[in-house]
Chain A
Amino acid sequence: MENGNSTPAKAEVLLSIQGLSKRFDDTLAVDNVSLDIHKGEIFALLGGSGSGKSTLLRMLAGFEAPNAGRVLLDGEDVTAMPPYLRPTNMMFQSYALFPHMTVEQNIAMGLKQDKLPKNEIRNRVEAMLTLVKMESFAKRKPQQLSGGQQQRVALARSLAKQPKLLLLDEPMGALDKKLRTEMQLELVEILEQVGATCLMVTHDQEEAMTMASRIAIMAQGRIAQVGSPVDIYESPNSRMTAEFIGSVNIFEASIREDESDSITLESAALDAPVFIDRGVSTPAESTATLVALRPEKVYLSSEKPAGDTNWSRGTVDNIAYLGDISCYYVKLASGQRVQATMANVERRGERPTWGDTVYVSWEASSPILLWN
């Protein structure tokens, strides 16, 4: 799994979405979306409900016709192609297994439409059953299977025709949490084994980050940011993405000194100035900005940190003990609350408690500047 590595520069574009829009009555569900999906990658469309991600997926499958824009698949314009001709296959959130057919017949359904010879179909179905480890369930009906087993069958059915592009609609949506983590890794393994290019839609950021090599954040019908999980988490380009993925502390600040290799800012919420040890391109017209800090990059100490930048004083307002980590909420003098997480490395170690006066501090590389 190349999770975290940015995709190679020479990656071949398989699916090209160009200015796609879809209007339902008065609402623009998908608003001028352009996106390139590379051959062999697992790409996740991440967004809340109503973000337009499912509508986009349904347009790619051919179930909805776009009002504007084009879809190119492997160089071919498929915008107006009906679903039954498209070289894409979809795994539905509810799996949509045919209840009157056995597992075998479900998987063979797509192959039969291609008028393949009988023994070829049989071989392909067998190979698919082996791939998803469901060989012993071939003769069962879908309702005799558990949720996880149904998902395997749905996956096998959508992979059987060796689609150029596999579409996954909330692939883990119908599974319980424990099974979900297990299946995420197994699904990625299977997809890599067959070398499928895959576009998945999910509202679960953990799922997107575990499975996908690239993620697009969708909100209000638009793509807010595209990038690898690391890019999206460590370099969000807007307050929306920063807040959507993980937790974040955000302070209003203004630029005091803007050098080519560093930047110093002042924030009314913090006791000391913020110093960032890298150059940031700033828009000329305004000095106002937002400083974002991830909670795991905020340290807590009872003594005042060395140096006169990147710290602030406050009192512990609340603590959430989560086992592996503890989450501290520190109330600053300015009244703003800062969230800091600490790994519980020591068993029952000395840790700040409610009402303690503490200092929050961070590395000069940690803060992110956001402009909106």
Chain B
Amino acid sequence: MARKPTRSPLMERVRAVLFHRRVVFGIPFLWLLLFFLLPFALVLKISFSSAVMAIPPYQPVFSFVDNTVSVVVNFSNYLFLMSDSLYIAAYWGSVKIAFVSTLVCLLIGYPMAYAMARASARIQLVLLLMVMLPSWTSFLIRVYAWMGILGNQGLLNNLLLWLGIISEPLKMLNTNVAVVLGIAYAYLPFMVLPIYTNLVKLDVRLLEAASDLGCRSLTTFWTITLPLSKAGIIAGSMLVFIPAVGEFVIPELLGGPDTLMIGKVLWEEFFNNRDWPVASSLAIVMLALLLIPIVLFHRLQTREMEKDG
């Protein structure tokens, strides 16, 4: 006698759990699809078009005329980017400034994170708040504040003049140094927080063990603390470097005429030249350039996990 297939209450429960799980995972995916993948697809499409004086100011890639669907893929924008040294210089300039800013962030952020992780639990909370507090005010206002500090008649110059260290104002605003400073300032929390979360988890007994085996504090730091916080350093550096490459506001406000960064060039192509296709292809190339370090980092991480697993 064949058993009648019954739906057991357990199976019902499992089904319900699986359904809920699908919903929970589904929402962020839907979000990414709507607000990330779709705009990206649009930008990608526009980058294969050519500029015209119209609304919208580019030729359609897909057209449907006389019962034929025609797809016109135009690579000329990308070829144009290669041919004009301005763009390559802008990419290179962005990477350079982002790199230096990340380094500055790391040099300031690591000791900060270290001190925070070593502080008592109550002080830790206060310090954590102090790191995050500036981000609660408008980003733009904070960058303007830096203009006030660095300007020829700014706070810093006045202070140095008053102290007699300099006899005439230093040109600090509208230089690459100001841009690096601004980026390092704005993105410091993104460097500090991942390193802090990493260091706070560090087992103090490892440090004691190193000390027990004859390591002085500095040796312990170089051989134990620093290698074990590698993941935090890499995560923090990525969080600073990637947005710094595409940064527009800071170089626009703090940078000078010779500050060449891709964010600014992109802005000009888009709003001043109204050349959407070239602006789009600039954005796509920038994304591709940023993907390289992300993929490398990811590969490194998986390899390490496989090795340890």
Chain A residues at the B interface, C-beta cutoff of 8 Å: 61-63, 82-86, 88-90, 92, 94, 96-100, 109-110, 113-114, 141, 143-144, 157-158, 161
Contact = CB atoms under 8 A, between A and B. Distances in A.
A86 B211 CA distance: 10
Given A96-B203, A96-B205, A143-B308, 4 more contacts: A84-B214, A89-B213, A96-B206, A96-B208
B308 A113 contact: no
Contacts of A83: 208, 211-212
Contacts of A99: 206, 228, 308
A97 B206 CA distance: 7
Interface in B279-309: 307-308
Interface string B94-115: 0000000000000000000000
Contacts of A86: 212
Nearest to A157: B213
Interface in B214-234: 214-216, 219, 223-224, 227-228
Contacts of B219: 113
A98 B209 contact: yes
A161 B205 contact: no
A109 B223 CA distance: 9
B253 interface: no
B208 A63 contact: yes
Secondary structure dominating the interface of B: helix
Interface residues on B, range: 10 to 19
A132 B308 CA distance: 23
Given A92-B205, A98-B206, A100-B227, A84 B212 contact: yes
A278 B227 CA distance: 66
A83 B208 CA distance: 8
Contacts of B227: 100
A100 B211 contact: no
The 4 closest A-B pairs by CB, nearest first: A113-B214, A110-B213, A96-B209, A96-B205
Residue from the set A63, A89, A96, A110 with the largest chain B CB neighbour count within 10 Å: A96
B43 interface: no
A85 B224 CA distance: 18
Contacts of A141: 307-308
Nearest to B209: A96
A161 B213 contact: yes
A63 B209 CA distance: 10
B308 A84 contact: no
Contacts of A109: 210, 213, 215, 223
7 contacts: A61-B208, A63-B208, A63-B212, A84-B215, A97-B209, A109-B215, A113-B219
A178 B216 CA distance: 39
